[in-house]
Amino acid sequence: MAHPGERIPIASDHAGFELKERLRTVLSEMGYSVDDIGTHSTASTDYPDYAHPLSQQVSDGAVQRGVLLCGTGLGMSYVANRYPGVRAAVSWSPEIAALARKHNDANVLVLPARFVSDEDAIAILRTWLETPFEGGRHQGRVAKIEQTNEHGDDTPGSGA
């Protein structure tokens, strides 16, 4: 389910740089317009510096989805999932990526660059891009993600 010309931002820290470069090429070859947010070398960097701008774009609706990479994927996912409307999924296999899309409507793919091969990362990326959200019974569950307390009030700390 490729969306030719769709703009997809991609970002990594130093641990994900080399794999990001490979995936950037794959995305371009698939017909996507790639927005490389950085980093641009293997020099040590701080993952939040790259996760914040990408996550903001997804949260604001400027883009529908994005790709983040760091050593474990965890740091990037912690930052991304703080943004309203962002559902960032650390995926280490195509099966996890497919379920993240089908059941959770994941709109940010996070790859653990130190724990997946280039080939596996490409398969994960392709699966994530091509798998649609199933909706149905999952729609209500995804809607509940934005709720912050047991009363369904979306204001943090409100309700008692």
User: What is the Cα–Cα distance from 4 to 27, expressed in whole angstroms?
Assistant: 10
Residue 42 belongs to some domain of the structure? yes
Four-residue CA torsion sign, 25, 20, 9, 96:
positive
CB 26 within 8 Å of CB 55: no
Residue 155 belongs to some domain of the structure? no
Its domain, for residue 33, covers 7-144
CB 53 within 8 Å of CB 30: no
Residue 152 belongs to some domain of the structure? no
Among the listed residues 74, 55, 76, 65, the one whose alpha carbon sits nearest the alpha carbon of residue 27: 65
Global confidence as pTM: 0.90
| CA 145 remoteness from chain centre | 16
Residue 15 belongs to some domain of the structure? yes
User: What is the Cα–Cα distance from 101 to 60, expressed in whole angstroms?
Assistant: 20
Per-residue pLDDT band for 136 (boundaries 50, 70, 90) equals: confident
Residue type, 141: R
Per-residue pLDDT band for 11 (boundaries 50, 70, 90) equals: very high
Q: Does 103 participate in catalysis according to the annotation?
A: yes
Residue 2 belongs to some domain of the structure? no
Q: Which of 52, 70, 138, 151 is catalytic?
A: 70
Q: How many distinct structural domains can be found in the chain? A: 1
Q: Give binding residues as ranges.
A: 13-14, 71-75, 104, 114, 137, 141
Residue 153 belongs to some domain of the structure? no
Q: What is the pLDDT of residues 105-130, one digit of tens each?
A: 999 999 999 999 999 999 999 999 99
Residue 160 belongs to some domain of the structure? no
Residue 87 belongs to some domain of the structure? yes
pLDDT at 6 over 60: yes
Question: Which CATH number does the domain housing residue 79 bear?
Answer: 3.40.1400.10
